[in-house]
């Protein structure tokens, strides 16, 4: 069930960052940058999938995500909760349970056999669907899921994630142009602030991460191989 009281958005962001740091879902490495799916380097990496293995933390964050959506989108705004394959599926299930709504999930591409479906579960024309994922970087991957939902005749005007990079200015506009509003718990800025407060990494690493967050494209361009 949804708690009747909950922290402010700012406190939710701080606590979410703290939990991600506590389970070591946050990785900073400026000396040997991570290579993202885009092929570009980054001194930061977040692994939200780890959350499913920590019952107290995952439960708290799913409460946070549920109340964030209700606060920002409305208490009767949705008829169906859809998870994006694969990381979004467990989180969508937990949010759907809290909101007492049907749960579905969206495949990245059709199965290629049988019904050749992208939507698994019961989604019907006219339903208002919330897309749930673990995170978003620039918002691009969400658009394919949203289009698959809309092809059923349902609508999808909102997506909710635990973690939003918060460093690429085009993200929100890209989603808004597609008719989608983004809801999230915390960003890299929140994680960096909490990491500094905790002394979770050395100052050199934190300063380099800060430089990346201030100008991510320039940082990446300077380190392309």
Is 203 labelled as part of a ligand binding site? no
**Which helix (H) or strand (E) element contains residue 106?**
strand 103-106
Is 174 labelled as part of a ligand binding site? no
Is 8 labelled as part of a ligand binding site? no
Is 137 labelled as part of a ligand binding site? yes
Is 114 labelled as part of a ligand binding site? no
Angle among Cα 192, 164, 66 to the nearest 5 degrees reads 115
Is 155 labelled as part of a ligand binding site? no
Is 40 labelled as part of a ligand binding site? no
Which residue from 103, 104, 101 is spatially nearest to 119, judged by alpha carbons?
A: 104
Is 111 labelled as part of a ligand binding site? yes
- From residue 51, alpha-carbon distances to 16, 25, 145 in Å are 11, 8, 22
Angle among Cα 101, 181, 123 to the nearest 5 degrees reads 35
Distance of alpha carbon 61 from alpha carbon 53, whole angstroms:
13
Is 134 labelled as part of a ligand binding site? yes
* Cβ atoms 170, 138 nearer than 8 A: yes
Distance of alpha carbon 19 from alpha carbon 182, whole angstroms:
21
The answer, yes or no, to whether the previous bond of 37 is cis (omega within 30 of 0) is: no
Is 107 labelled as part of a ligand binding site? yes
Annotated binding site: 107-108, 111, 133-141
Binding site feature residues for orotate: 137
Residues tagged in the binding site annotation for 5-phospho-alpha-D-ribose 1-diphosphate: 107-108, 111, 133-141
């Amino acid at each position: 069930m949804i708690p009747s009281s909950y922290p402010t958005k700012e406190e939710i962001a701080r606590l979410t960052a703290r939990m991600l740091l506590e389970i070591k879902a946050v990785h900073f490495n400026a000396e040997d940058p991570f290579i993202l799916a885009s092929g570009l380097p980054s001194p930061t990496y977040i692994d939200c999938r780890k959350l499913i293995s920590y019952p107290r933390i995952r439960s708290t964050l799913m409460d946070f995500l549920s109340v964030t959506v209700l606060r920002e989108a409305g208490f009767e705004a949705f008829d169906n909760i859809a998870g994006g394959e694969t990381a979004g599926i467990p989180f969508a299930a937990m949010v759907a349970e809290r909101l007492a709504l049907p749960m579905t999930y969206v495949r990245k591409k059709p199965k290629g056999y049988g019904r050749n479906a992208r939507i698994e579960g019961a989604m019907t024309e006219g339903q208002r669907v919330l897309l749930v994922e673990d995170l978003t970087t620039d918002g691009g991957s969400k658009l394919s899921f949203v289009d698959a939902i809309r092809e059923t005749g349902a609508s999808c005007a909102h997506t909710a994630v635990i973690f939003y990079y918060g460093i690429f200015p085009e993200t929100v506009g890209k989603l808004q142009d597609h008719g989608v509003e983004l809801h999230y718990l915390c960003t890299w800025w929140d994680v960096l602030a909490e990491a500094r407060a905790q002394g979770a990494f050395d100052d050199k690493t934190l300063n380099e991460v800060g430089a990346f967050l201030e100008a991510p494209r320039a940082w990446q361009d300077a380190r392309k191989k």
